[in-house]
């Protein structure tokens, strides 16, 4: 029989009944932290690190957990492939980190290097090599002894990562089924508390929660903040860029029955922290100041002037013709001489507008295009171009990043039609798209490899690829410098039917 801890004695004297131990366990989850700097006075690594330090100081029984997406995309990551995020989080290391899909934007080799540079462990039970063997440096189910409790952490990656990132030959098992099976086994193996640390969408979150295999689910991916409790499972959706945080306090009562069995009961306490009220961590501020100064010297170079509004708002680039989408696609086509250019809206990340008179800088373009993708030209028949356009609008109602911004081409789509049968009126150079005619198509290397569901772009004759191509951002910067002034208007390249 275990000895009675000081904590148990204190708990019994203060609140707990005789024979019971009371432990306060704090779980601080965060995910989708891309930008090292604050936005509108909240978020960023300096404030996040300050909160994590404060939580650990207030309760030694704290687990600080990362549920995916930091290496990309951001302006800084375009220069260092996400090393800055590792440097900032190494100042206040996580107890466990789960890779999100954006951890693979620069390829699996870069993620492997960043794992080695981390002062904390990474884990995901549903990522393996293509032969099913473990990925070096990537752990699995992790059991932490916290205040006498056995806390099983179930690390889950998003199983759609190969569709939206550059995961190479890595294999991703189903997020929900794999997670539930692991949680049940952890419980059978004696875990007192089972926690999912998941980078996955809300649909999967709901399935994980409905299973009641978990006590707690800490989830990222949706860029929103939410908490829930159904009487069995507590849930936190962990916001974006550390702007809003919700430390979850579990007051756990542990009773030992006469036959030696442990009975666990707990009550969740959700706290809300708006990081606008948090004093930034000084050490992190100093690191941010040094990084900002280094970047400013290279980025604050003016390359052109806006004469008509440019729009890169997320909801626009993922659902309709965007002037920023037009500019990027035009630049890709001008740089390569291709007949057509296709740019996935999800690769345009500025989420802003540029008013007339605004001076465009290198910083602006790299903020819009942070992924470091290369412009590639492939030769494809019109039938495959049509399939690519169908893919682009197949999830438009979900705001998916696959939406196709175009140049040299126009098309119409009906979002009410079945996916795969939505596109019509496709014109190239003023003539209808011909199914058997070969076209030179400029794309980025991410969607050429099937990213965002663009399998239809594969199989063509590659005219420009890999190191022989230029960064999309470089093509756009060169194009803007050549224009001098940017005057674009929505011109009907993409027409929505049924409106």
State the DSSP H helix or E strand holding residue 74, giving kind and residue range, or none if neither. none
Structure tokens at 404: 């196709």
Tens of pLDDT, residue by residue over 339-364, are 999 999 999 999 999 999 999 999 99
Q: Which residues of the chain have pLDDT under 70?
A: 1-19, 465-469, 499
Q: In CATH terms, are 6-290 and 301-496 the same topology? A: no
Provide the b/e sequence for 36-64 (b: ≥16 CB within 10 Å). bebeeebbbbbbbbbbbbbbbeebebbbb
Name residues whose C-beta falls within 8 Å of residue 418's C-beta, 6 or more positions apart in sequence: none
- Per-residue pLDDT, 352: 96
Structure tokens at 177: 């089924």
Whole-structure pTM value? 0.77
Tell me yes or no: is domain 6-290 CATH 3.30.70.100: no
- Per-residue pLDDT, 469: 59
- Per-residue pLDDT, 105: 86
Query: Does residue 73 have a cis bond before it (omega within 30 degrees)?
Result: yes
- Per-residue pLDDT, 470: 72
Contact indicator for 129, 192 with CB cutoff of 8 Å? no
Which fold does the domain 301-496 belong to in CATH? 5'-nucleotidase;  domain 2 (3.90.780)
Domain ranges, ordered by start, for the chain: 6-290, 301-496
Query: What is the C-alpha separation between 492 and 391, in angstroms, rounded?
Result: 20
- Per-residue pLDDT, 257: 84
């Amino acid at each position: 029989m275990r000895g009675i801890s000081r904590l148990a004695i204190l708990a019994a004297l203060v609140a707990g009944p005789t024979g019971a131990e009371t432990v306060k366990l704090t779980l601080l989850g965060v995910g989708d932290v891309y930008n090292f700097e604050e936005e509108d006075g909240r978020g960023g690594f300096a404030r996040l690190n300050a909160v994590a330090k404060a939580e650990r100081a207030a309760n030694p029984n704290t687990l600080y957990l990362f549920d995916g997406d930091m290496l990309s995309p951001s302006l800084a990551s375009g220069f260092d492939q996400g090393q800055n995020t590792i440097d900032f989080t190494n100042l206040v290391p996580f107890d466990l980190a789960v890779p999100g899909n954006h951890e693979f934007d620069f390829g699996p080799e870069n993620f492997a290097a960043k794992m080695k540079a981390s002062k904390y462990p990474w884990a995901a039970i549903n990522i393996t090599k293509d032969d099913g063997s473990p990925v070096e440096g990537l752990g699995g189910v992790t059991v932490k002894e916290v205040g006498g409790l056995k806390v099983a952490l179930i690390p889950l990656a998003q199983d759609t990562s190969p569709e939206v990132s550059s995961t190479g030959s890595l294999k991703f098992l189903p997020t929900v089924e794999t997670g539930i099976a692991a949680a049940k086994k952890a419980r059978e193996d004696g875990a007192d508390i089972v926690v999912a640390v998941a980078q996955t969408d809300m649909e999967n979150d709901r399935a994980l929660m409905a299973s009641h295999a978990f006590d707690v689910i800490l989830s990222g991916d949706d860029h929103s903040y939410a908490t829930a409790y159904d009487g069995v499972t507590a849930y936190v959706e962990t916001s974006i860029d550390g702007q809003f945080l919700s430390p979850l306090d579990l007051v756990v009562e542990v009773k030992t029955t006469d036959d030696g069995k442990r009975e666990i009961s707990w009550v969740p306490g959700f706290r809300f922290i708006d990081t606008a009220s948090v004093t930034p961590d000084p050490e992190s501020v100093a690191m941010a100041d040094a990084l900002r100064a280094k970047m400013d010297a290279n980025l604050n170079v003016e390359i052109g002037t806006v004469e008509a509004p440019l729009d890169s708002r997320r909801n626009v680039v993922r659902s309709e013709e965007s002037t920023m989408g037009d500019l990027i696609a035009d630049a890709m086509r001008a740089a390569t001489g291709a007949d057509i250019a296709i740019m996935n809206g999800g690769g345009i990340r500025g989420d802003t507008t540029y008013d007339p008179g605004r001076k465009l800088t290198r910083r602006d373009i790299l903020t819009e295009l942070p992924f470091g993708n290369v412009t590639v030209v492939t030769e494809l028949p019109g039938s495959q171009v049509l399939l690519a356009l169908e893919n682009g609008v197949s999830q438009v109602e979900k705001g998916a990043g696959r939406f196709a911004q175009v140049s040299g081409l126009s098309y119409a789509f009906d979002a009410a039609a079945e996916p795969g049968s939505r596109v019509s009126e496709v014109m190239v150079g003023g003539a209808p798209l011909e199914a058997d005619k070969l076209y030179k198509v400029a794309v980025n290397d991410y969607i050429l490899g099937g990213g965002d569901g663009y399998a239809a772009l594969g199989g063509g004759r590659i005219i420009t690829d890999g190191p022989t191509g230029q960064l999309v951002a470089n093509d756009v910067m060169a194009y803007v410098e050549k224009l001098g002034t940017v005057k674009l208007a929505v011109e009907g390249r993409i027409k929505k039917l049924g409106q």
